[in-house]
Structure 1
Amino acid sequence: MRRTRRQFFTLALATGATLALAGCSTLNAVTGLLGNQINFTQPQLQRYLNQSFPREFDKLGGLVSATLTNPRLSIPTGDDRLRLDFDIGVSALGARDISRGHFALASRLRYDPATRGLHLDNPEILSVDVPGAGSLMSGGTRQLVNTVLQEYARSEPVYRIDSDVLRRLPASKQIGNPQIEDGRVVIPLQ
């Protein structure tokens, strides 16, 4: 009898620990589904970005390409935009790695129900440092980066909301316009 009771308590404890860990992984996906909002932190967005890169963008029919790597996301204190820094490699037809450098942008976010994702909204280039690439193209490196950003903002989310989270939303609630507040992304539920 004593052995059976001990086995039962051991099994119950193991089951409870497993359920708690499963709950924690869901909490890692979304820090809060708090009544009227969903919250995301910088580390959550960074983990998603790390899985989504490197990315290659071909321009001018493949004559020029840009490869984005090493995304670094931050949410500056007191700002209503997030900041993204990327390393960029520029190549041209027949010549690989013409130039390497980096650029930074700031952007608000928008929600796209088709991708279930948070996308860049009106990204603004803060800096571009790609030595030697400007002479390659008549429009210069900044124009290439702008074109890549527009394509990325339109088609690729910075973060995709897990379908399990969306299923748990009350039927009467819809995802509102994402805001950046106090170092986190806050999505109001309307």
Structure 2
Amino acid sequence: MARVIAVIAAALLALAVAAYLFYSGKEYTVKIPEAEIQQNLAKGLPVSKSYLTIFELTLDNPRVDLVEDSGRIVAGMDVALRIDATDDKRVFRGSVDISGLPHYVPATGEFHLQDLKIDRLSLEGLPDKQTERTRMVIEAALKEYYRRHPIYTLKATDIRQLAARLTLRRVSVEGDDLIIVLGI
């Protein structure tokens, strides 16, 4: 019985070494269309959340624009903001555009946006005295949203994508596609 277990263990070890040698040094390219990123970001929207007990923020209708040679992904959303600090509980509607860098998490095979910058924020009728605090709340909300919602997840059914999960080699934009090169 011990001999059978030893033979099976040796065979599995040999198979693992062969797989590593086969995939070692190879690159695998994943081409993600802009529309697929937008579709992934739309999952679970609209989302509403309260911040600092006075702000209620709703995010909806994501937009994605891949900009060649920038390395950053430009994304936008429609925003509805209710401020409960005064007796006037109006809802301010508008949009926000951000840009961020794709970040790869090998353990989950997910790509998230990080290093977010608000490029444009427009809320109709928002008083000037509320602008800076509102900007901070929206930035915090977007960081949380993009941390929880990947722009892309490698497919667990694709053996090449599974094998290439270890190392991100480079990310670029070509036309309307995000090009991700992975390797071991």
> Is the shorter-chain TM-score for this pair beyond 0.5, marking a shared fold?
yes
The answer to whether 1:127 aligns with 2:127 is: no
Q: Structure 1 length as normaliser, TM-score?
A: 0.68
The answer to whether 1:85 aligns with 2:76 is: yes
* Corresponding position of 1:6: none
Post-superposition shift, 1:85? 1.4
* Residue identity in the other structure for 2:71: D
Post-superposition shift, 1:54? 1.2
Post-superposition shift, 1:137? 4.2
Alignment RMSD: 2.8
Q: Greater shift after overlay, 141-150 or 80-89?
A: 141-150
If asked which structure has higher relative contact order (CA below 8 Å, sep 6+), I would say 2
Distance change in 2, residues 1:123/1:64 (3 Å): same
The answer to whether 1:52 aligns with 2:44 is: yes
The answer to whether 1:187 aligns with 2:158 is: no
In the alignment, the residues of structure 2 paired with residue 176 and residue 59 of structure 1 have an alpha-carbon distance, to the nearest angstrom, of: 35
* Residue identity in the other structure for 2:64: L
**Contact persistence 1:98–1:133 (CA under 8 A):** no
Post-superposition shift, 1:136? 7.3
Distance change in 2, residues 1:77/1:170 (3 Å): closer
* Corresponding position of 1:143: 136
> Which of 140, 145, 168 is the equivalent residue of 1:152?
145
Distance change in 2, residues 1:171/1:36 (3 Å): closer
In the alignment, the residues of structure 1 paired with residue 161 and residue 138 of structure 2 have an alpha-carbon distance, to the nearest angstrom, of: 37
* Residue identity in the other structure for 2:31: N
> Which of 101, 112, 116 is the equivalent residue of 2:105?
112
- How many residues are treated as equivalent by the alignment? 155
Post-superposition shift, 1:135? 5.3
In the alignment, the residues of structure 2 paired with residue 148 and residue 154 of structure 1 have an alpha-carbon distance, to the nearest angstrom, of: 10
Post-superposition shift, 1:141? 2.1
**Contact persistence 2:106–2:166 (CA under 8 A):** no
* Residue identity in the other structure for 1:87: D
C-alpha deviations, 1:104-138, integer Å up to 9, x for none? 11111001245532111201111000123355748
Distance change in 2, residues 1:114/1:156 (3 Å): farther
- Quote the sequence identity (%): 22
Distance change in 2, residues 1:66/1:173 (3 Å): closer
